[in-house]
Structure formats: C-alpha cells, structure tokens
Amino acid sequence: MRQALAEAESAADAGEVPIGAVVMHMVTEPQVIGTGFNRREQLQDPTAHAEILALRSASKHLGRWRLQDCLLVVTLEPCPMCAGALWASRIGGVVQGASNDEAGALGTFYNLGQDPRLNHEFPVQRDILEQECSHLLRSFFEQRRNRT
C-alpha cells in the first residue's frame, strides 16, 4: 500500500485526483509488475484511472490479459468501471485503502468482486492504511477548494 500511496502522491503532484495502484505478481516472491495513478486530465481520457493503467502495465509485463495470479493494491475502492476491469482481468484479489462513498463497487454500493452471478469472484481486503489514503484525498480537495 505504501507504493500505491506513492503513486497517488505522484498523481497529486501532476494535478490529478490522488489515487494510486500497483499490481503484484504473487507466484513466488511478490513482485510489483504494474503501476498507475490517475491521469484523466493529462491524457484527456475518461478511462485513465489508476487501476486501469496498472492493469494495462501488468498485462504488458506478463504478456497476457489473465491476471489470476496477481493482486491489485489501490488507495481508493474502485469505481464500477475499474471493478469491471478487475473482473475481466480475472484478478486474484484486491487490497484497498479508503472506501469510495461516491462510487464504490467492491463493497460500498456494489460488490462486483464477490457477486456469484458473475463467472469470476475475487477476495477484497478493505481499509488498509485507510486513514492515510483518506487524508491524501481530503487534503487534495481542500487545497482545490481554497484556490477558487
């Protein structure tokens, strides 16, 4: 989660909403194989969320789209788009920091990771370094409000 927080700080430094994600390959020694932070403004791409970019990076690294032996670590609970991408990638599991009270799709509003109607389910570990993840987001938006 510390590396995901570092990615989130990179997002904040770039003027992006501070959300960061890393994908870890869990076969032998856990190894980071993909990273990402929000880049929607920079890329002018509505899909450029931290999770999507980290999944793309990990898939490129492994040369495959199935990530069943990987774990995504993300600072904020994924939205429905990102939770759908996690499902589509067959991710092995997710570790998340803060809950997403606006659009959380891994337990807050929806639970796409553990919906038996879908053909892939994955475990979700919640609230890891939650205070640090939440603080980074709150600080970012407070600074934005104070600039206007």
Cα 112 to the center of its chain, rounded Å: 14
Which of 51, 77, 121, 142 is labelled catalytic? 51
Tokens 């990990």 sit on residue: 58
**Distance separating alpha carbons of residues 43 and 48, to the nearest angstrom:** 7
Q: pLDDT tens, 91-134?
A: 999 999 999 999 999 999 999 999 999 999 999 999 999 999 99
Predicted confidence (pLDDT) at residue 72 exceeds the cutoff of 80: yes
- Per the prediction, the chain carries an average pLDDT of 96
For residue 39, which amino acid is it? Answer: R
User: Do the beta carbons of residue 32 and residue 21 sit within 8 Å?
Assistant: no
**Distance separating alpha carbons of residues 55 and 24, to the nearest angstrom:** 10
Q: Any idea what DSSP says for residue 17?
A: -
Q: pLDDT tens, 134-144?
A: 999 999 999 88
User: Do the beta carbons of residue 96 and residue 124 sit within 8 Å?
Assistant: yes
Predicted confidence (pLDDT) at residue 147 exceeds the cutoff of 80: no
Q: Catalytic annotation on 51? A: yes
Give burial (CB, 10 Å; 0-12/13-18/19+) of 37. Answer: buried
